[in-house]
């Protein structure tokens, strides 16, 4: 555990949640009391209840009960000594507005589709982002276009300096954080691109996260955002400059098993 915890403190992949990681005890795995001590009044469920982390629900409880329980009570079941649940809690701390909107949508969809065997596209979109999302702040429309077109070498190598200057990558998905403890080249996130100005990218991290959280929550408040699982482009996270030592070489981006071209380009 100590080795993984140290990596979490140092890797740039964890930058968005590092302010809270640094306030947790370094000598042991954080417990519920540690996490709840960091909770703020801004953290509310989709139903407006104050968010707090509680022991896990009984084994066998359906996933629907998890989301509805959080909505109604604000109680987020969190397993002890569990990286996945720890990162989920840390994302609640970093992006409370977006997590609240996702929780509200889950509850609405569960009630609307009561009795149906499939959870539907909307919940698939929510889960994909909740587990595997990344918020990309970009002050250069040209770079945003390269990302949407999956032109990875052009984005991360040929315009590397511009990407470093005019883009910020903040992981949202707690499953991505868990995978990043031992990253491998297949880790891909769903990217929510937030067009912004250069001033925000130069602002303190807390200010960046607050603005991006509000913008992300606004995006997912729209029903149109939940229409397709392809609405958010994929992003291989180890291509982000500085997130993998090997990507300091241009030929790193020639590996199409990791940096896949856009679907249309393949067809």
Give the domain range for residue 79.
Answer: 2-120
Report the alpha-carbon distance of residue 140 to residue 179 in Å, rounded: 29
* pLDDT higher than threshold 60 for residue 1: no
Domain boundary among 120, 137, 172: 120
Alpha helices in 11-158 (DSSP H): 18-21, 32-38, 63-73, 83-94, 96-112, 120-132, 141-148, 152-153
* pLDDT higher than threshold 60 for residue 182: yes
Residues 168-176: what's their mean pLDDT?
Answer: 98
Summarize pLDDT for 96-108 with one digit per residue, the tens: 999 999 999 999 9
Could you tell me if 93 and 200 lie in one domain?
Answer: no
Could you tell me if 104 and 161 lie in one domain?
Answer: no
Summarize pLDDT for 26-51 with one digit per residue, the tens: 888 999 999 999 999 989 999 999 99
154 and 255 Cβ atoms separated by less than 8 Å: no
Residues 159-168: what's their mean pLDDT?
Answer: 98
Q: What percent of the chain has pLDDT over 90?
A: 80
Report the alpha-carbon distance of residue 230 to residue 118 in Å, rounded: 18
Q: What percent of the chain has pLDDT over 70?
A: 91
35 three-state secondary structure: helix
Residue 103: the pLDDT is 97
Could you tell me if 52 and 169 lie in one domain?
Answer: no
Residues 169-193: what's their mean pLDDT?
Answer: 95
Q: What are phi and psi of 200, to 5 degrees?
A: -65, -40
Residue 176: the pLDDT is 97
DSSP 185: T
Per-position b or e across 129-168, b if 16+ CB within 10 A of its CB: bbbbbbbbbbbbeebbebbeebbbbbbbbebbeebeebbb
The confidence band for 58, taking pLDDT boundaries of 50, 70 and 90, is confident
Report the alpha-carbon distance of residue 141 to residue 166 in Å, rounded: 10
Could you tell me if 72 and 11 lie in one domain?
Answer: yes
CB neighbour list of residue 161: distance below 8 Å, 6 or more residues apart:
none
Domain boundary among 104, 120, 136: 120
Residue 17: the pLDDT is 96
């Amino acid at each position: 555990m100590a080795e993984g915890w140290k990596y979490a403190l140092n890797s740039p992949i964890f930058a968005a949640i590092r302010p809270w990681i640094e306030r947790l005890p370094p000598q042991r795995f954080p417990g519920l009391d540690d996490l709840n001590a960091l909770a703020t009044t801004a953290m509310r469920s989709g139903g407006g209840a104050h968010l707090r982390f509680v022991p896990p629900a009984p084994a066998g409880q359906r996933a629907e009960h998890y989301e509805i329980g959080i909505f109604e009570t604000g109680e987020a079941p969190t397993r002890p000594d569990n990286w996945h649940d720890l990162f989920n809690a840390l994302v609640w701390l970093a992006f409370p507005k977006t997590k609240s909107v996702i929780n509200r949508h889950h509850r609405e969809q569960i009630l609307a589709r009561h009795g149906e065997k499939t959870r539907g596209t909307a919940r698939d979109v929510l889960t994909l982002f909740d587990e595997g999302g990344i918020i990309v702040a970009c002050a250069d429309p040209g770079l945003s276009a390269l990302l949407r077109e999956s032109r990875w070498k052009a984005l991360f190598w040929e315009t590397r300096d511009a990407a470093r200057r005019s883009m910020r990558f903040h992981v949202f998905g707690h499953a991505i954080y868990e995978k990043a403890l031992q990253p491998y080249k297949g880790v891909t996130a769903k990217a929510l691109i937030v067009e912004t100005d250069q001033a925000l990218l130069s602002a303190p991290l807390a200010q960046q996260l607050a603005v991006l959280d509000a913008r992300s929550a606004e995006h997912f408040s729209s029903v149109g955002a939940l229409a397709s699982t392809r609405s958010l482009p994929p992003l291989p996270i180890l291509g982000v400059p500085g997130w993998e030592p090997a990507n300091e070489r241009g030929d790193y981006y020639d590996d199409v098993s990791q940096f896949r071209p856009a679907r249309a380009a393949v067809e």
